[in-house]
Amino acid sequence: MKTSLLAIAATAALAAPALAQTDLPADADLRSAALEWFEPIPDTPQIPAGNVLTPERVDLGAMLFFDPRMSRSGVFSCQSCHNVGLGGVDGLTTSIGHGWQQGPRNSPTMLNAIFNIAQFWDGRAPDLAAQAKGPVQAGVEMNNTPENLIGTLNSMPGYVDAFKAAFPDEDAPVSFDNFARAIEAFEATLITPDSAFDRFLKGDDAAMTDQEKRGLAAFMDTGCTACHAGRNVGGQDYYPFGVIERPGGSVLPEGDRGRFAVTQTADDEYVFRAAPLRNVALTAPYFHSGAVWDLHEAVSIMSSSQLGTELAEPQVDEIVAFLGSLTGKQPQIVHPILPVRNAETPQPQPMVQ
């Protein structure tokens, strides 16, 4: 996979400088080419492996997702860093967690995360359930423990009943595994179908503007699809950040060696899961460092660092316009009413570092 990326980068470098404006192919030809790389977001959720999407399980997952009492301080919930109303992110360079500590990486969106090959920038969680367990236990995030979490849930009859309804065949339904599976079920429903791009892929020639179509053509012609393809326009594999030229400064901060921390393999130094680009116009700032706030700048950095080509300004504008066409129908989530605490519920702990 990395070898093919280098070959594409070398080809793109030989082709530079780029044309000032991308030729506009016929709609049928452009669609045919795009369908070799992309799929539309489905209208219904994808069921996670080993899980089910019953209304009771999804509703329980929504309660857990929005409940700050899942953190030791009672301040932070999943929603804190993955705001459903902000494209699934928090709009910060890197997220703030327990003790007002700043995390090391930008929070990725959980919208359409069900379609990713794995979760987190380094892919250390194979699925959404495994991901849900991480922030709860991270000292820089929610700073909780499974034991304290389960004690909190068992102390509230509303949660005990909700777990029984969501996991009716289990003798002990309130568990850390089921906590994660319920959140996974809820997050699996957070998909964004019916973008202009999806409508175009399905046959609607008028769904995208000419500029967006030129951007799609440029996105494919310049080799962006080497890393950003599939249903989620990325998120499907791992690639080195900086094939041609490693970005410096805050874009690729010193000390973050990417997937190497997971695999301890030298080839995985500075390798990250390709960012899924669905709804990317909503999710600034960009990159795992969150160092770039402007999508136009992010596209320019990627063209030079990953592909070795300097795009002309009109082509950057075209690709940015295409990326805007990836914004789909946003989930309309009603904040759930949460179970009431009682005298046995563990009290929030001060955020003392």
pLDDT tens sequence across 100-111 = 998 888 999 999
Task: Record the pTM.
Answer: 0.90
Dihedral sign from CA coordinates of 138, 278, 68, 46: negative
Residue 227 marked as a ligand binder: yes
Lowest mean pLDDT across 1-5, 20-24, 210-214, 281-285:
1-5
Q: How confident is the model at residue 17 (pLDDT cuts 50, 70, 90)?
A: very low
Q: Quick one: residue 50, left, alpha or beta (phi over 0 = left, psi -120 to 50 = alpha)?
A: left
- Establish whether 82 is an annotated binding residue: yes
In 3D space, the residue among 278, 286, 297, 184 whose CA is nearest the CA of residue 231 turns out to be: 278
Helical spans, DSSP H, in the chain: 2-15, 27-35, 55-66, 78-81, 128-137, 146-154, 157-166, 176-188, 196-201, 210-221, 260-263, 295-307, 313-324
Is residue 20 over pLDDT 70?
A: no
Q: Which domains does the chain have, with CATH numbers?
A: 27-41+193-326 (1.10.760.10), 55-189 (1.10.760.10)
Determine whether the annotation assigns residue 224 to a binding site: yes
CA distances in angstroms from 133 to 136, 164, 185, listed in the order given: 6, 20, 14
The span from the CA of 45 to the CA of 64, in Å, is 19
Q: Any binding-site annotation on 335?
A: no
Question: 309 burial class (0-12, 13-18, 19+ CB within 10 angstroms)?
Answer: buried
- Residues labelled as active-site residues: 141
Average pLDDT, integer, range 32-58: 97
User: For 297-329, what is each residue's pLDDT tens digit?
Assistant: 999 988 887 787 889 999 999 999 999 999 999
Report which of residues 207 and 249 the model is more confident about: 207
The pLDDT of residue 8 is above 70: no
The reported pLDDT for the residue numbered 159 is 98
Amino acid at 83: N
What pLDDT is stored for residue 12 in this prediction? 40
Where residue 259 falls among pLDDT bands split at 50, 70, 90?
confident
9: phi > 0 → left, psi -120 to 50 → alpha, else beta; which?
alpha
Residue with the bigger pLDDT between 143 and 272: it is: 143
Average pLDDT of the chain is 89
**pLDDT score, position 120:** 85
Query: Any binding-site annotation on 296?
Result: no
d(CA 61, CA 102): 26
Confidence class for position 78, pLDDT limits 50, 70, 90:
very high
DSSP states along 283-346: S-SBTTTT-B--HHHHHHHHHHHHH-----HHHHHHHHHHHHTT--PPP--PPPPPPPP-TTSP
What confidence tens digit (pLDDT) does each residue in 88-142 have?
999 999 999 998 998 888 999 999 999 999 998 888 899 999 999 999 999 899 9
288 known ligand binder: no
The dihedral sign for the CA sequence 345, 350, 351, 353: negative
Q: Which two tokens stand for residue 2?
A: 């990395």
First to last CA, the chain: 43
| Res. 80: pLDDT tops 70 | yes
Between CA 166 and CA 61 the distance in angstroms is: 9
Measured over the CA atoms of residue 64, residue 68, residue 69 and residue 73, the dihedral's sign is positive
The predicted structure's pLDDT at residue 71: 97
Residue 13 has pLDDT above 50, yes or no: no
